[in-house]
Amino acid sequence: MLADKMKKHGATGWLVNTGWIGGSYGVGERISLAYTRKIINAIHSGELLATSYKRTEVFGLDIPTKVEGVPSELLDPINTWDDKDSYKSTLIKLADLFKRNFKVFTNYKNGGVSDLADEIAAAEPNF
């Protein structure tokens, strides 16, 4: 229903990392509030609609390659982690949690309850 209303009214939606960069909790640090504000400002000004994007592995998210005033390496999470293997294993672990959660929705379809199961299942992480 939300997706239909967004399409109907030409709305956009953004996922903004206001959490950890550079590693898991205890290793990484919070992303700078100043950078978060610059990203939000780029959304409000329309700058992010006119920039180029790179698609991430596993979750298939499109991330901007440039935001004025934000170091480009911060935009792609893997660039902020010193331990790339740890990043990849954490990414796969998170994706696995999502996949397990998706099974709940596909089980609803099998019981005849949900018409959205195919759309939800199509959005699951790929790894």
Domain range annotation of the chain: 1-82, 83-127
- Evaluate whether 68 touches 50 at the Cβ level (below 8 Å): no
**Integer distance in angstroms from the first to the last C-alpha of the chain?**
28
Beta bridge partners of 21: 29
pLDDT in tens, 6-60: 999 999 999 998 888 999 889 999 999 999 999 999 999 999 999 999 999 899 9
Q: Please state the pTM of the whole predicted model.
A: 0.79
pLDDT in tens, 47-93: 999 999 999 989 999 999 999 999 999 999 999 999 999 999 999 99
